Amino acid sequence: MNDFILPATRYALSGDCSIAYQVMGEAPIDLVMVPGVVSHVEFFHETPGYTAFLRRLSEFARVITFDKRGQGLSDRVSAPSLEERMDDVRAVMDAVGSKRAAVMGFSEGSPMSALFAATYPERVEKLLLFGGLRYRRWPPILKRKRPNVSRAGAPARSSNRHGRA
């Protein structure tokens, strides 16, 4: 029989927006998990393996999860900026008393995590990015400086219309 009780959902105030968060574990290392495109701190525990993953992490870290503004149990807002969403990480860390943490961004949460680390370097022990996004189209300023490489990373070769170099 499993006696595990899910962590309580609490709320941090970021500006005038309430951000839902949960904390698992009591280890000396704080690990803030910045979600990707979708977040829901309570419903995610219904996903197979999610709670077990957090429980394992909580054996050596205090794991802090949260819902981005406009998602899950956080307040609904329309089109928040990256800077507003990034500041939600700070608000949650302040609410749990975390001075410094490892910040792990998943997917769309990676740019948010990177911006947080650049804005508050004194609050970030480590930065982990998992499945972060990349440019599909290079901005004009970078096109001039972009190396001529193939998708596999090898130097691109010129070829004639028959496919021969």
pLDDT, tens digit, for every residue of 37-93?
899 999 999 999 999 999 999 999 999 999 999 999 999 998 889 999 999 999 999
How far apart are the C-alpha atoms of 108 and 105, rounded to whole Å?
A: 8
Q: What is the pLDDT of residues 54-64, one digit of tens each?
A: 999 999 999 99
- Residue 60: both structure tokens together: 């050596």
- Parallel, antiparallel or unpaired: strands 101-106 and 29-34: parallel
**pTM: predicted TM-score of the whole model, two decimal places:** 0.79
What's the Cα-to-Cα distance from 78 to each of 1, 67, 85, rounded to whole Å?
A: 43, 15, 12
How far apart are the C-alpha atoms of 41 and 20, rounded to whole Å?
A: 7
Q: What is the pLDDT of residues 108-121, one digit of tens each?
A: 899 999 999 999 99
Q: Which of 9-13, 97-101, 140-144, 145-149 has the lowest mean pLDDT?
A: 145-149
Q: What is the pLDDT of residues 119-138, one digit of tens each?
A: 999 999 999 999 886 656 65
